Structures are given as C-alpha cells and as structure tokens.
A and B are shown apart, each in its own frame.
Chain A
Amino acid sequence: MKSVVAEARALHRTYMRGDTPVRAIRGIDITIQAADYVAILGPSGCGKSTLLNLLGGIDIPTAGSVRLLGHDTRELSDRRLTRLRLEKVGFVFQRFHLLPALSAAENVELPMAEAGLPRPRRRARAEDLLDYVGLSHRVDHRPGQLSGGEMQRVAIARALANKPALILADEPTGELDQDTGAEIGELFLRLNRDGTTLVIVTHDTSLARPATVVHRMRDGALQTEAKP
C-alpha cells in the first residue's frame, strides 16, 4: 500500500480582483502518493500554479482542505508551515530563483543551513547533490556564470537538499530551449526512479510523457486520466 504525501479535498481558492471574485480553483480533489510522478497540464490561467502553491503550503485554500504529510495546512501557524516546507517539500521555479550572491554549492547548502545541519555535513551533501545533477565541475560557480539549464540543475539539487517527501515544480523548463528542457526532463525522471515524489506543472510534453499520473485542468477543475 502506497502512502499519501499530499491530499486535497473539495479545494477552492478564490482571489479578489478589486471587487470581483476570481475563482481560480473550483472544487478539486486530488491525492499525491509516494513515488508518484504527477504532471498537471492545462491552458494558461486555468489554475495550475494556484493548485501547486496550495499543495505546497505557500498558499492557503479559501474552502476545502490540503493535507500535507498529514498536516492540514490551514491549521498550522506560519512558522510551523514554513518549517514543514523546509523539511518536507522541495520547490523548483520557472525562474530558478537562485541567490546570485552565493555559489552553486552555497545555494544548495542554504536549506540545510536553515534546517540547522552542521557546516561540514551540508557541504559534503551539497557536493554529492551537485554531482547527482551532473554539476560536480560547477560547485564554486555563481549563478551568473551558469547557463539556464545549469541553474535549473542547481535549483533541483537545492530542492533535494533536505531529502523532501515531495518536489513541486512549476514550468521548470519554461525558460529553457527544447534540448536543455529535455535534459532537465531526464533528470526529473531519474529523480522519480530513485524514489522522489514529483508534481510538475508543465506545457512541455517531454516532461509530461514519463508521468505516472497526468491531470488535465480546465477552469479551476481537474479532468483526471490515470495511466496504466
């Protein structure tokens, strides 16, 4: 029996744009199980990023609930929710969001430092992770000295830093050319084969193809198709 990593029930998220409510998520039920590779597809503005943010605990539902590793995100204090993200969730952004002042290794070390891992251990782990994503020769480079694909690899290593139960990626190849995107896709697939649970929002079919579960969204709702 697989364990449940994240789970949403009767999920709603409504934004206020001035006086008009924008119903970005309209009653979604979704379950993410350990070792799943979930791809979320859908047209622009259908609510994919909103759903991902809700699942990852960086946004809070207006109705319904998200249980992230057994915790209802609405019931946690901001402090405990932040700690839960730090220890259990890895984020990969479309724009990488590496700290330009830090080297690749230091960027990967940052979540470990935040979690209180001693310096020698985090340095060793950062080097291992950079090696895992194929950047052992870029350990001391600054983001400004790296290509887009390399920056995204560093960001993926950073997402893995605290051995998360779940990695959420929003358009992780959105800024990359096709070939580089395909390489990142291969990295994600390897990650998943090594046991990492993935939820990826994407327009990129090369990322969606290997997924074990594909969700199509439209107007804030899911049209799920399970793969064999």
Chain B
Amino acid sequence: MSNALSLAWRTLVRRPRRLLLFIAGVTVAAAVLIDMVMLAEGLQRSLSDLLEETGYQVRVVPKGTLPFETEAAILHSTRVAAAFSADPRIADVVPLWGRTIYASSPGAEAVATFGYGAPAGTAPTLRLRVGRTLERLGEVVINRDLAERFRLSPGDSLLVGLEPDPAVGALRSRRVVRVSGVADFMFAAAGSATLALTLEDLWALAGTTSEPAALLMIRVAADANPYAVARELRGRDTSVDVYAIPEIIEAAGDRLTYFQQLSLVLGTVSLGVAFLLVTTLLTLSVNERWGEVAALRALGVTRGRMLAQVAWQGLMISAAGTVAGIAAGLIIARYLDGILTSFPGLPVNLSFFVLDRNDALLAIGLLVVTGLLAGLYPAWRAASVNIAAVLREEIE
C-alpha cells in the first residue's frame, strides 16, 4: 500500500511547478469554501454567543418586535418582573430600557448617545474595562468612545439630559451623574457614544412614571429548561413575545439568510472549481503517461490498482489544497471580518465569519470527496487503457 502511495506521489511531483500551480488553485477554492462555511451561519453564531454571554437565557419583548427594534415597551415592568420572579424556575429577571439622551461636559459640546437603563447592581450587556458597574442612583457607566471624547475616568462627573432646547442651547431636564466605570457595550454600534444609567434615573430623566422596558432578560434556574420556561411564559401573557436564545436567532433569521444563500452559491462554485482543477491535472498527467500506463498494465498491474493510483493522486492534490486552503481561508476571513464589522451601526462584538468544528469538518469532507470524484474519470481512463493498441501507438 505504502508503495502504491509513494508511486502515486512521485509520479505527481515529476512536474513540480505544474503541480504547485494546481494545488494553489485548489487552495484558493478551498479557502473560498471555508470562508463561505464560516459566513453562512457566522452572524447567527456570533449573535448567539453574545446573547449567551449575558448569562440570561430568555428574552421577553413587546409583541411583534425584537429587542430595541422599535419604541414599543412593556409598561410597569417592575411589577411584571416581580410576577415572573415568583416562578421557582426563574432565578432572575432584569428589565432593560433605552432611549437617546445627551451628554456633555463643562466647556464641551453636547453629544447624542444611546442611553441604556438597567436596575442598579446589574449590567448584563456590559464588559467592564475599568471601575465598577452601576450600584446606586446618580451613577453612569460609559463606553470608551464617550470616555475618550470627554476625557473621563471613574469618579469624574458628566452632565446628561434630553435634547438641547433650541432657544437656550442647554440640555433639558439635565442632571449631573458620576462615572462609576468604563465598559464595552456588547450590543452597541461601533464608534457610537453609549452610556448606561440606572433604570430609575433614566425613567426620571424621560419624565415617565409608567416604568417602560424594551425587554426583560430572564435567567432560568440551573435545573430549568429555557425552552420550557419560554413556552410557559408565552402562554401566560399574550401581550408579549418570549424567546429562548435560539428562538431569537431564528426570529432574526430572515435578515440573515442572505449570507446563507450567498455562501451556498459561492461554496458550490468553489467546489466545482476544485473538481475541474483536479480532473484537468489528472487527465493531463494520464494523457502524457499513456505509454507508461499501458506498460504497467502489461507488466501485471491490475485495473483496480491502476484506478487506485490515479484516484490517490486526486486525493493528494485535494488534501494538500485543503490544508493550505484552511490556513488561507482563516486569514482571509479575519481580514474580511475586519472590513464588515467596521460598518457603522453594527454591534462591535459581532463577527460575520465564525468557524464551527462540525462545519469545518463538513467542508474538509466535501473537499476530499470532490478530490476523489474528480480523480475517478481520469482513473477510469487509465484503468481501461487498451494495452496493445497504446503500446503500438507509442512506437509510431
């Protein structure tokens, strides 16, 4: 066996430059395939990872919306949250609200920011960089854009309020808050100023007493099933939608299937290209060794062994291309991800290209099978050579 493999390999490398060119071609095709496999569900996976990272497995939103998608709100959220908390399968309920508010610092112009409101002591969508999270009224956690813009660090104070009065120029219902920490906001758009206040402060600032929440985040008890909890809550309150994380991803799916379709088409094309490259190279190689093939058959190499030799060559080319293609694909994916995630309006922590082990194995499997199939036609031709006729043609 090892002998047949070594012969297959040494026959291939007799023309090293040509072999390298074809392997480079298969590498490009494999890289595209790997990238497409990463892209197909990358956004869903990355979103799902972000949602999981919060530690809350169920989301409750106003009927027919997705979190923060519209202005719709769940009113009297404290009461609603308390009612949910009574369920022993629910460990924690956190209402979140958000709206545009303005921030300014003495001597600096006010900027519009997205202001989140969360109960004091909770910060499920923050990754704290310095300082601490919101612990009492009058505190604010800001993102790094805001910290850089106003040169703020924990302990400094910041002016927040509603949109400036055009006549006076000053922020309406403004108040001074104290920076408790600087954090990355997992769902905030790249390059935008973002801050978080306690819910009570945000409600007071907005002048509302109806305690609106854009969403309730629910942590289920360790032994409870998020799907079952979500299903039950859905039945209990028909004015809201309740989603376990995979259900949110599915609900957002319509907006993400473009990538799946694009990936399917480009991935298929890249497999086709890999197939053609391997068939072409092996057909060329068999054609130029026609006499050698006939002589080997005459000397006693069976059809099956001849077929296997060429089929192995197909596998070798596709394997080499696959290995190089995975490396190239990962590098390209990183580069493209950098471009795509810097689009304005996208959460910073999202990725478009995410490699999943099973999908990677699927891509490798597809490439190997493609290499094998691509080798079959030239292999079959080599195996079914008319020995006497070819040996005769070789002399002429």
27 A-B residue pairs with CB within 8 Å: A50-B388, A53-B391, A56-B298, A58-B388, A59-B387, A59-B388, A78-B303, A79-B303, A82-B300, A82-B302, A83-B302, A89-B300, A91-B298, A93-B298, A93-B391, A95-B394, A95-B395, A97-B295, A99-B7, A99-B292, A101-B10, A101-B13, A111-B299, A111-B300, A113-B3, A114-B299, A158-B299
Q: In the complex, A170→B395 CA distance in Å?
A: 11
14 further interface pairs, Cβ-Cβ under 8 Å (given A91-B298, A97-B295, A99-B7): A53-B387, A58-B297, A58-B298, A79-B304, A82-B300, A85-B300, A93-B391, A99-B11, A99-B292, A101-B7, A102-B10, A111-B299, A158-B299, A174-B395
Q: How far apart sit A114 and B387, CA to CA, in the bound complex (Å)? A: 18
Question: Could you list which residues of chain A lie within 8 angstroms of chain B, going by C-beta atoms?
Answer: 49-50, 53, 56, 58-59, 78-79, 82-83, 85-87, 89, 91, 93-95, 97, 99-102, 110-111, 113-115, 158, 162, 170-171, 174
Q: Which residues of B line the A interface, CB within 8 A?
A: 3, 7, 10-11, 13-14, 291-292, 294-305, 387-388, 391-392, 394-395
- Pairwise interchain contact B387-A110, C-beta atoms closer than 8 A: no
Q: B303, A82: Cβ atoms under 8 Å? A: yes
Contact present for A53 and B302 (CB under 8 Å): no
Query: Which of these, A101, A114, A171, contacts B300 with CB under 8 Å?
Result: A114
Contacts of A79 in B (CB 8 A): 302-304
Report whether B300 and A86 are in contact in the complex, using a CB–CB cutoff of 8 Å: yes
* Distance (whole angstroms) from the CB of B11 to the closest CB of chain A: 5
The 8 Å CB contact of A53, one of B10, B303, B388, is B388
Give Cα A82–Cα B300 distance, bound, in whole angstroms.
Answer: 5
B304's closest neighbor in chain A, by CB?
A79
Write the nearest CB–CB distance from B3 to chain A, whole angstroms.
5
A100-B14, A102-B7 given; A85·B298 CB < 8 A:
yes
Q: Which residues of A contact B13 (CB under 8 A)?
A: 101
Query: What residues of B have a CB within 8 angstroms of the CB of A89 in the complex?
Result: 300
Could you tell me if A115 and B11 are in contact, using CB atoms closer than 8 angstroms?
no
A90 nearest CB neighbor, chain B only: B299
Q: How far is the CB of B301 from chain A (nearest CB, A)?
A: 6
Q: A97 to B301, alpha carbons, bound, how many Å?
A: 14
Contacts of A110 in B (CB 8 A): 7, 299
Within the complex, which residue of A95, A100, A114, A170 is in contact with B301, where a contact is CB–CB below 8 Å?
A114
Interface-central residue, A91, A162, A174, by most chain B CB under 10 Å: A91
A91 near B299: Cβ-Cβ < 8 Å: yes
Write out the residue numbers on chain B whose beta carbons fall within 8 Å of the beta carbon of A86. 299-301
In Å, the complex CA distance between A110 and B6 comes to 12
Structural contact, A94 and B395, CB atoms closer than 8 A: yes
A162: nearest chain-B partner, CB-CB: B300
B392 contact set on A, CB distance < 8 A:
49
**Chain B residue at smallest Cβ distance from A52:** B388
With both beta carbons as reference points, the residue of chain A lying nearest to B291 in the complex is identified as A97
Give chain B residues whose Cβ lies under 8 Å from the Cβ of A171. 395
> Please, which residue of chain A has its CB at the minimum distance from the CB of B300?
A86
Chain A residues with Cβ below 8 Å from B296 are 99
CA distance A102 to B299 in the complex (A): 16
Q: Max chain B CB contacts within 10 Å: which of A58, A101, A170?
A: A101
B10 touches A85 (CB 8 A): no
Which A residues touch B391, using CB under 8 A?
49, 53, 58, 93, 170
> Which single residue of chain A is at the shortest CB-CB distance from B11?
A101
Given contacts A56-B298, A85-B299, A95-B394, contact A114 B305 (CB under 8 A): yes
Residues of A within 8 A of B7 (CB): 99, 101-102, 110
Give Cα distance in the complex from A115 to B305, angstroms: 12
Task: Give the top 3 A-B pairs by smallest Cβ distance, nearest first.
Answer: A86-B300, A97-B295, A101-B10
User: Could you say which residues of chain A place their CB within 8 Å of the CB of B291?
Assistant: 95, 97
Contact indicator B304/A87 (Cβ below 8 Å):
no
Q: Do residues B387 and A58 form an inter-chain contact, with CB atoms below 8 A?
A: yes
Most buried by A among B291, B304, B391: B391
Residue on A nearest B301 in the bound complex, by CB: A114
Most chain A CB within a 10 A radius of its CB, from B10, B300, B301, B388: B300
CB distance from B146 to the nearest CB of A (A): 68
Most chain B beta-carbon contacts within 10 A, residue among A53, A83, A97, A162: A97
Complex Cα spacing A58 to B391, Å: 10
Task: Give the chain A neighbours of B14 by CB distance below 8 A.
Answer: 100-101
B394: A residues at CB distance < 8 A: 95, 97
Complex Cα–Cα for A59 and B392 (A): 12
In the docked arrangement, what's the CA distance between A101 and B359, Å?
Answer: 38
Complex CA distance for A89 and B387, rounded to whole angstroms: 15
Q: Give the docked Cα–Cα distance between A224 and B11 (Å).
A: 44
Residues of B within 8 A of A99 (CB): 7, 11, 292, 296
**Which of chain B's residues have a CB closer than 8 A to the CB of A59?**
387-388
Q: A102-B10, A113-B3 in contact; A97/B300 too (CB < 8 A)?
A: no
Q: Is the CB of B300 within 8 A of A83?
A: yes
Once the chains are docked, how many angstroms separate the CA of A79 from the CA of B388? Answer: 16
Alpha-carbon distance between A118 and B13 when the two chains are bound, in angstroms: 26
Cα distance A111–B300 when bound, in Å? 7
Residues of A with C-beta under 8 A to B3: 113
Chain A residues, CB < 8 A from B303: 78-79, 82
